[in-house]
Amino acid sequence: MNRKIGNLTLDSRVILAPMAGVTDRSFRTLCRHFGAAYVVTEMVSARALQFRDKKTARLMTLGEEERPAGIQLFGDDPAIMAQAAEKAMKFNPQLIDINMGCPAPKIANNGSGSALMKDPEKCGRMVEAVKNACDVPVTVKIRKGWDRNHVNFLEVAKICEQAGADAIALHARTRDQMYQPSADWNSIRQLKQAVSVPVIGNGDVTDAQSACRMLEETGCDFLMVGRGAMGNPWIFQQINVYLTESCRILPGPGIAERLVVMVRHIRALCEEKGENVGMREARKHVAWYLHGLRGAAGYRRRAGELCTLDDLDKLVEEVYRRYRDEEKREDA
């Protein structure tokens, strides 16, 4: 099976989706460690790049341990996007991804993200401009359409392919659906039949079994995991094992491993951004890691109050002590 996007050869079929506020360097590195074929940065504003914004530069900084990695750009002007791609290349990404799917009002209301789906010809011009500005594969991430009355993903995808896109990722919902209801995998199947470049399916992959179903039902070349990876970087390892070892189900991590990986993640986050900023951002990650545990509601409240790494260590000690005490009672 071909595992290439442009000239980039990948070692698996499952990719970490770009997510604002989530897929920073520490999380990308962790997901790559657990088997993501490649990772993509949080979306980067093409216009902000014109002003040499320090935060934007940090968003694009890639570590060797997370490669292959792509930089995702968003904007509403093909020329400015091309300039942004040129600047992004200084960070040596393995690919550039164009955001044509973000449903957030602050992005779409300014003509970027999913709003581009309303202007297929501009989508094509944008792909062509970015493609001419860099020498790495260019991918696009789209949605089914703007709303249920304007479902035009096939038109947009074909125009992007003709303009030079090396792969197309489809989040199988319209912009107005946001993240509900269930993703329409049939649209991914239709896209795969309509274009010759690799298709990346996205939407409702939450475990190894759903990943396998998406591949089988749609025929897509790769799949992208977003929310299913939050607090669960092991999902990439589980999917890879299931797909390559005759549907073997790899058990999820035990509580000790979960806590060790969580602390490793949060410490890397604080090292990257400083403890003050890092711990504020860590709160959501800790809540995700502890989701599903007995007493999770209380842990989420505690997670929302974390301010220091010492606070995290105390919470981890409490969680593990409670788990160990429960084990002893069950064995008695």
The answer to whether 233 touches 260, Cβ cutoff 8 Å, is: no
Q: Pick the closest to residue 210 from 226, 195, 191 (CA basis).
A: 226
Residues in CB range of 271: below 8 A, 6 or more apart? 26, 278
Alpha-carbon torsion (7, 10, 15, 16), positive or negative? negative
**Cα radius of gyration (the chain):** 20
Q: Quick one: tokens of 8?
A: 């980039």
The verdict on whether 31 is a catalytic residue reads: no
Residue with token string 């902000």: 48
| Lookup: tokens for 226 | 């977003």
Please give the DSSP secondary-structure letter assigned to residue 18: P
Active-site entry in 31, 102, 220, 270: 102
Q: Which amino acid is at 164?
A: G
**309-331 and 275-289 helices, crossing angle to 10°:** 20
H helices, E strands: number in the chain: 14, 11
Distance between CA atoms of 206 and 242, rounded to whole angstroms? 13
**Cα torsion angle, 86, 273, 101, 184, sign:** positive
Minimal CA–CA distance to 140: which of 113, 115, 118, 121? 113
Return the sign of the alpha-carbon dihedral for residues 228, 232, 233, 236: negative
Q: Which of 318, 301, 311 is nearest to 270 (CA)?
A: 311
Gap between the Cα atoms of 303 and 311, Å rounded: 9
- Give me the sign of the Cα torsion angle 120, 126, 131, 137: negative
Q: Is 40 helix (H, G, I), strand (E, B) or coil?
A: strand
Point out the residues that are catalytic.
Answer: 102
